């Protein structure tokens, strides 16, 4: 279920939960969840709650606890104990589609797992297993487990409707806070290029809150096709430019020094594109570079080695044991 929330660093989570409980601000019946090295806590009065615990206001989908029960509680006795213990604690919800990360060996229990998820998450109509993200388009390999047989849905993120085809384009609902954060940094009049836009969440957020010239570039035409649907749904026609193609080809036709800001959310390869980006950024222009690394220092180093000046680093998604995706906010030195 969708709810306002506050996000706090994991090491401060217990203290935050205690304070929110004492003040009666915790939203009952919804289960807090981890995202990007932080705990997202559903709350009643987000502004007051954020001030109380020193966290950030957010909005996300949460699992509904049926008298404190999760989807795994509904599977007790239905699956062998070792299979149950190996299942992930949570799953993603994109619109009304749930996607759970499973291994090949857990798939044969898929139908039972899907039923348990749909019992707990009343808004979920479709359940897929993801066997991992693959290829240049970063598209998940999906196996249908239960519910309707469709892959298209509309996801809501801070009031924006995002059309997603989960089988044909990348989308991570755990990045909602990051999409909004970056949009909040853009100033009216800026020229912004989102070089690996996917279905366009950064670009849509920016176009909604700022009068900027925003280019959303992606090599996956299905992703751009989803973005076109979202532009219409959100009444943002004429507010952003979609480019279906390679980021390097786009950059090659941009004049030097005209971009105020670039967004580079292609965590394994973004730094390889920095040499192409640098001449196009104005002096002091911003680059938000997403990098897989084991520490903030390692992420900042990967960006500074390419000639950008890191200004701030924050972890945005857990990637693997002791690996995170970091957002490195950086500037072109003058
Ligand atoms: C991690 S996804 C980014 C999703 C999006 N920024 C978001 O926050 O949801 C990376 C995207 O980069 C695109 N991509 C990969 N290589 C590319 C290239 N050379 N030029 C443009 N887009 C590329 C993929 O198709 C994919 O949609």
Ligand 1, closest atom to CA 220?
A: 25
What's the half-sphere exposure (Cβ side, CA atoms, 13 Å) at 275? Answer: 3
Q: How far is the CA of 332 from the centre of ligand 1 (A)?
A: 22
0.85 exceeded by pTM: no
Mutational test site, ligand 1, from 218, 240, 271, max ligand atoms within 8 Å of CB: 218
DSSP 43: B
Q: Is 170 in the pocket of ligand 1 (CB under 6 A)?
A: yes
Strand order in the sheet with 97-101: 92-94, 97-101, 126-134, 139-147
Position 121 scores a pLDDT of 87
Round to whole Å and give the CA distance between 190 and 256: 15
Q: How far is the CA of 308 from the centre of ligand 1 (A)?
A: 21
DSSP 37: T
Position 62 scores a pLDDT of 83
One digit per residue, the tens of pLDDT, for the chain of length 334 reads 788 999 998 878 888 998 998 888 998 778 898 887 789 999 989 999 999 999 999 998 887 776 667 899 889 888 998 999 999 988 999 999 999 999 988 999 999 999 999 988 888 999 999 998 888 999 999 999 999 999 999 999 988 999 999 999 999 998 998 999 999 999 999 999 999 999 999 999 999 999 999 999 999 999 999 999 999 999 999 999 999 999 999 999 999 999 999 999 999 999 999 999 999 999 999 999 999 999 999 999 999 999 999 999 998 888 877 889 999 999 999 8
Residue of the CA atom closest to atom 4 of ligand 1: 198
Q: Report how far apart, in Å, the C-alpha atoms of 60 and of each of 33, 35, 164, 293 are.
A: 10, 10, 16, 25
Q: Is 15 in the pocket of ligand 1 (CB under 6 A)?
A: no
CB contact at 8 A, 45 and 25 = yes
Q: Report how far apart, in Å, the C-alpha atoms of 188 and of each of 180, 262, 305, 329 are.
A: 15, 15, 31, 19
Q: Are strands 152-157 and 160-165 parallel, antiparallel or unpaired?
A: antiparallel
Round to whole Å and give the CA distance between 286 and 259: 9
Phi/psi at 167 (5° precision): -90, -15
* All domains in the chain, ordered by first residue: 2-64 (3.30.70.2580), 73-150 (3.30.300.110), 172-331 (3.40.50.150)
Structure tokens of 111?
A: 């139908």
Position 67 scores a pLDDT of 66
Mutational test site, ligand 1, from 194, 196, 200, max ligand atoms within 8 Å of CB: 196
Q: How far is the CA of 196 from the centre of ligand 1 (A)?
A: 4
Round to whole Å and give the CA distance between 307 and 299: 13
CB contact at 8 A, 49 and 67 = no
DSSP 137: T
Round to whole Å and give the CA distance between 42 and 122: 17
Round to whole Å and give the CA distance between 129 and 140: 9
CB contact at 8 A, 334 and 283 = yes
Position 66 scores a pLDDT of 67
Position 141 scores a pLDDT of 94
Question: What is the DSSP track for 105-129?
Answer: GGGGGHHHHHHHHHHH-TT--EEEE
């Amino acid at each position: 279920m969708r709810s306002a929330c506050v996000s706090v660093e994991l090491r401060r989570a217990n203290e935050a939960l205690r304070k929110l409980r004492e003040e009666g601000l915790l939203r009952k019946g919804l289960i807090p969840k981890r995202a990007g090295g932080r705990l997202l806590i559903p709350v009643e009065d987000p502004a007051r709650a954020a001030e109380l615990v020193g966290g950030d206001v957010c909005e996300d989908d949460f699992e509904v606890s049926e008298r404190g029960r999760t989807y795994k509680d509904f599977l007790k006795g239905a699956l062998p104990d070792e299979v149950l213990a190996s299942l992930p604690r949570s799953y993603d919800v994109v619109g009304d589609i749930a996607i759970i990360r499973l291994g090949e060996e857990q798939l044969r229990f898929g139908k039972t797992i899907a039923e348990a998820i749909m019992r707990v998450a009343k808004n979920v109509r479709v359940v897929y297993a993801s066997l991992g993200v693959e290829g240049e388009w970063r598209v998940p390999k999906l196996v249908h487990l239960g519910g309707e047989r469709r892959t298209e849905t509309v996801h809501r993120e801070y009031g924006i409707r995002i059309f997603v085809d989960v089988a044909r384009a990348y989308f991570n609902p755990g990045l909602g806070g990051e999409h909004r954060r970056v949009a909040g940094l853009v100033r009216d009049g800026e020229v912004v290029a989102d070089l690996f836009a996917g279905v366009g969440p950064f670009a849509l957020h920016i176009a909604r809150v700022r009068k900027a010239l925003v280019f959303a570039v992606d090599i996956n035409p299905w992703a751009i096709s989803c973005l076109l649907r979202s532009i219409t749904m959100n009444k943002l026609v004429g507010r952003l430019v979609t480019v279906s193609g390679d980021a390097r080809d786009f950059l090659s036709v941009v004049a030097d020094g005209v971009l105020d800001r670039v967004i580079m959310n292609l965590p394994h390869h973004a730094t390889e594109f920095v040499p192409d980006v640098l001449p196009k950024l104005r002096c002091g222009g911003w680059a938000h570079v997403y990098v897989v690394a084991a520490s903030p220092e390692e992420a900042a180093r990967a960006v500074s080695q390419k000639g950008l000046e890191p200004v701030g680093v924050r972890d945005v998604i857990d990637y693997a044991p002791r690996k995170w995706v970091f957002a490195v906010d950086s500037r072109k030195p003058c």
